């Protein structure tokens, strides 16, 4: 399958079929599956936005012939101007160039499908007015990096384009040549066999749920290099063979892929407690904990992940800024329950 025509319009994707007999919706799902869902592809076909050899093709079942030229016309998204909303923010630092937030769990960073209001962007627009950087686009003003909805912790937002560019470059480099430092605390099931380690495993879209990620072969088209370094900070219910029921692990990212820590820890057999996407198979482990810890684990509403530390060089002053956010109440309480259980020797 050929690559998109580099001279095509930005809203136009063009391909040439190099095989015959496959349905056009199936062929496109293979070619652009990481970008568009099967249902979205079929909707584009129904609406006449897919052409074969210059003719609109409205039948998803139409089979391709070798050499057919396929084009997808991507309609412009409807403009969505987020409005400011008076949402409380835990501000760790603010100046004319940037603002650093301790994001609470449950807060979506920017508007998107199913979350057009009540996001961090809505809160920032209310707080900052028109001072946010426009580089991120109308739906992502000022956003340099993101945290999952149910991940808490430190996040920096740019107020002007100069700061946005500088911070974006630092995050793209992930501190390899600069001064960026990020550390996350994760409460995971079990305990890695080594106190420190590195997970080097490429990530791509999951084959069963396109909203999720999975470790994939390097040769896959959507594979993205991903490296996580971890250090075990504490073990709960540790046994003589050095295994444990759960562990508090610090994770530092060498790359920043979607759901990276969650997928990588699950990949090595230690999914995050509370992770309903990547740790479902471990949920029954709570039954082995007794009460009240078992109930606390079952009731924990999110993945136990907190962006504890963020340090970076200020784009204007050149000063190294370093911010740490303590564990939020829900995670602190869960850790306290694990420590009480572990100290009581209930393994």
Would you please indicate which residues are annotated as catalytic (active-site) residues?
A: 148
CA distances from 141 to 114, 119, 136, 229, 335 (A): 19, 12, 5, 30, 35
∠ CA(266), CA(344), CA(330), 5° rounding? 50
- Category of 261 on φ-ψ map: left (φ > 0), alpha (ψ -120 to 50) or beta: alpha
Through-space distance between the first and last CA atoms of the chain, rounded to whole angstroms:
55
- Alpha carbons within 13 angstroms on the beta-carbon side of residue 234 total 11
Residue 88 C-alpha from the chain's centroid: 23
What secondary structure does DSSP assign to 179-205, as a single string?
S-EEEEEEEEES--SSSEEEEE--EEE
Which value, in Å, is the radius of gyration of the alpha carbons in the chain? 23
Q: Which pair of structure tokens corresponds to residue 10?
A: 């930005």
Q: What is the DSSP letter of 66?
A: T
Short-list 321, 323, 274, 333, CA closest to 302: 274
Q: Which pair of structure tokens corresponds to residue 169?
A: 């470059």
Q: What is the DSSP letter of 224?
A: B
Residue 35, classified by CB atoms within 10 Å of its CB into exposed (0-12), middle (13-18) or buried (19+), is middle
Give dist(CA 288, CA 63) in Å, integer: 54
What secondary structure does DSSP assign to 13-31, as a single string?
EEEE--SSS-BHHHHHHHH
Short-list 83, 81, 47, 54, CA closest to 68: 54
């Amino acid at each position: 399958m050929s690559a998109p025509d580099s001279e095509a319009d930005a809203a136009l994707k063009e391909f040439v079929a190099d095989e015959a007999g496959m349905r056009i919706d199936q062929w496109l799902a293979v070619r652009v599956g990481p970008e568009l869902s099967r249902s979205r592809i079929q909707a584009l076909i129904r609406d006449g936005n897919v052409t074969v050899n210059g003719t609109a093709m409205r039948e998803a079942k139409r089979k391709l012939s070798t050499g057919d030229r396929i084009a997808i016309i991507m309609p412009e998204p409807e403009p969505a101007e987020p409005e400011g909303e008076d949402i409380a923010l835990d501000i760790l630092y603010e100046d004319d160039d940037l603002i650093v937030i301790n994001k609470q769990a449950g807060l979506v960073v920017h508007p998107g499908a199913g979350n057009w209001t009540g996001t961090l962007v809505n809160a920032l627009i209310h707080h900052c007015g028109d001072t946010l950087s426009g580089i991120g686009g109308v739906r992502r003003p000022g956003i340099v990096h993101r945290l999952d909805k149910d991940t808490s912790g430190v996040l920096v937002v740019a107020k002007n384009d100069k700061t946005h560019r500088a911070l974006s470059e630092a995050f793209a480099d992930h501190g390899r040549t600069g001064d960026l430092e990020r550390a996350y605390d994760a409460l995971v099931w079990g305990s890695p066999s080594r106190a420190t380690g590195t997970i080097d495993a490429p990530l791509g879209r999951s084959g069963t749920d396109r909203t999720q990620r999975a470790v994939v072969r390097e040769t896959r088209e959507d594979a993205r290099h991903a490296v996580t370094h971890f250090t075990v900070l504490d073990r709960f219910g540790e046994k003589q063979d050095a295994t444990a029921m759960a562990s508090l692990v610090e994770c530092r990212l060498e790359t920043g892929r979607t759901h990276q820590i969650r997928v990588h820890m699950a990949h090595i057999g230690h999914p995050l407690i509370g992770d309903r996407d990547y740790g479902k198979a471990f949920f029954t482990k709570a039954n082995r904990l007794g009460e009240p810890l078992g109930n606390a684990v079952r009731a924990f509403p999110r993945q136990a992940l907190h962006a504890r530390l963020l340090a970076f060089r200020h784009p204007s002053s050149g000063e190294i800024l370093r911010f740490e956010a303590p564990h939020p109440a829900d995670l602190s309480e869960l850790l306290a329950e694990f420590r009480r259980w572990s100290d009581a020797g209930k393994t």
